[in-house]
Amino acid sequence: MTAEIAVMNRQAVALAADSAVTIDLPRGQKIYNTVNKLFMLSKYAPVGIMVYGNANITGVPWETIIKEFRRELDDTRFSTVQQYAEAFLSFIESKSTLFPRDQQAQEVKTHAFGLFNSILDEVKAELERLFIANGSVREGQVRSVLTRQIRESLKEIESLPDMSGYTARYRTDLGREFRPEIDQTIELIFEKMPIGTVGKNRLREVFCSFMSKDAFPNQLSGVVVAGFGEDEHFPSIHSYDAQSVLMGKLKHKASTNTGSISANDTAIIVPFAQREMVDLFMRGVAPAYERAVQVAIDGFLGGLPDVLIDGLPLSKQQRSSLKRKMRAANQTILAGFDQHLTDYSMMNHVSPVVNAVATLPKEELAEMAESLVNLTSFKRRVTMDPETVGGPIDVAVISKGDGFVWIRRKHYFKPEFNHHFFANYYE
């Protein structure tokens, strides 16, 4: 996980990103605090790009892809930020040389491994229940449980919404192109289990269907494009979730973390990835604590009718009727309680902060964005949670007049020893 944030008003948008990335290894995880996540999308236009989550897509670093796109974009300009974002996504799909087959094959095995492992876990859980109940499990029962679970998984996946542009032909071609990798993963996961030909065919369908559905694993990448288009005088943000690039198609979807400054929205604060500390700062209450309070109140009100009514000298029918009325009233009380908390948070926390952000100068926007990322990093550092947010924080401010301006930027080299890097930057 990572921490990135965008803060914007009518003047500019400030972007801040930490430098941490978590790498999954066979015997645990390794966290590096040196990754670049914030970049100019164009050297000439006031547009930036920020990535979060997985630092790679289909094994290729986002930094490589972004800089290749920037080189090809050159001094081309677009009317809106959304057009820059769409051009970037189209570039990824058009550059087949960035994603050779061996990289795609590894991506297939990675997703198939996770998908088939989840099915196997369900099978093992059901077989364990059978063993506890009967003292043994026969081969026929194993085959039956396995067949049923594969069939139910396929049915569940096929019920999900289709991703735009993913056709039945694409699924067929995907299964044909990467059948060796899919079959290798099936053999690795299920080993000597009695799957049979029908089961293997269904597992291939499970994988190909999953890769074309609106279903994204936890380990995905986020892409944020922010700034000003040529015809835009106020900044905007467009963000996307991205999973993989297979056979010339980037599996992605627009994220809900999208916004633009307008007459009605004069300031926007958008956190990405780990956002709990930003929510606490903005709303005055941690989301997890708020949920715990709601659950506690719900449980208290839910048990109240039994405590109050069971001791009353009433008939069974009267007690039952009175309990139903009390439970209905409790739901109304609970809804009013939730609304009161929301109104209080909005009036005393969210609105004052947003109103202040609307008038902040550019340098204050940058300081706020950096401070909010620092807050998340500090929380991770002083608790027992893994330090998945940390390292130097890169900060940039993008304005219509000044373009993309670095406020803080780390280098993996010493600038004073590499004057040629800066001299050649715009060549």
Q: How far apart are CA 245 and CA 401, in angstroms?
A: 36
Task: Flag the least confident range among 228-242, 260-274, 360-374, 398-412.
Answer: 260-274
pLDDT digits (tens, 9 = 90+) for 167-202: 899 999 999 999 999 999 999 999 888 888 899 999
Yes or no: say if 234 and 261 are a contact pair by the CB < 8 Å rule. Answer: yes
pLDDT band at 384 (very low <50, low <70, confident <90, very high): low
Q: Which long-range contacts (CB under 8 A, 24 or more apart) does 322-331 make?
A: 327/302, 330/301, 330/302, 330/304, 330/305
Percent of the chain whose predicted confidence (pLDDT) is above 70: 94
- pLDDT tens digit sequence for 108-138: 999 999 999 999 999 999 989 888 888 888 8
- Residue 234: alpha-carbon gap to chain centroid: 26
- Look up residue 417 and give its DSSP letter: G
Q: What is the pLDDT of residue 282?
A: 86
Looking at per-residue pLDDT, the higher value among 41 and 27 belongs to 41
Q: What are phi and psi of 385, to 5 degrees?
A: -70, 150
The better pLDDT of the pair 413, 427 is held by 413
Q: 64-120, pLDDT tens digit by residue?
A: 999 999 999 999 999 999 999 999 999 999 998 999 999 999 999 999 999 999 999
Provide the pLDDT for residue 388: 63
Burial (CB count within 10 angstroms: exposed 0-12, middle 13-18, buried 19+), residue 265: middle
Q: In angstroms, rounded to a whole number, what is the distance separating the alpha carbons of residues 281 and 377?
A: 14
For the segment 365-380, the average pLDDT, to the nearest whole number, is 87
3-state DSSP percent of the chain in helix, strand and coil, to 5: 50, 20, 30
What value does the mean pLDDT take over residues 269-277? 84
The predicted structure's pLDDT at residue 419? 82
pLDDT at 223 over 90: yes
Amino acid code (one letter) for 155 = K
Biggest CA pair distance of the chain? 91
Q: What is the pLDDT of residues 314-353, one digit of tens each?
A: 888 888 888 888 888 888 888 888 899 889 989 999 899 9
Nearest-angstrom CA–CA distance, 47 and 66: 12
For 167, which DSSP code? -
Two structure tokens written together for 233:
């005088």
Looking at residue 131, what DSSP letter applies?
H
Cβ neighbours of 394 (radius 10 Å)? 24
Question: What are the beta bridge partners of residue 16?
Answer: 5, 395
Q: Among 14-23, 60-69, 138-147, 374-383, which is the least confidently predicted range?
A: 374-383
Give the residue among 257, 365, 369 at the shortest CA–CA distance from 18. Answer: 369
d(CA 319, CA 324): 9
Beta pairing partners, 408? 395
Q: Full-prediction pTM beyond 0.75?
A: yes
- According to the model, what pLDDT value does residue 71 have? 94
Q: Identity (one letter) of the amino acid at 85? A: A
Q: Which amino acid is at 417?
A: F
User: Which residues is 162 bridged to in the sheet?
Assistant: 213
19 Cβ contact partners less than 8 Å away, ≥ 6 residues apart: 33, 34, 35, 36, 37, 390, 391, 392, 393, 394, 410
Whether 288 has a pLDDT exceeding 90, the answer reads no
Percent of the chain whose pLDDT exceeds 90: 52
> What's the length of the chain?
427
Task: Give the pLDDT confidence score for residue 189 in this predicted structure.
Answer: 92
Spatial separation of the C-alpha atoms in residues 40 and 226, rounded to whole Å: 10
pLDDT for res 66? 96
Two structure tokens written together for 348: 């005393």
Check residue 213 and report its DSSP letter. Answer: B
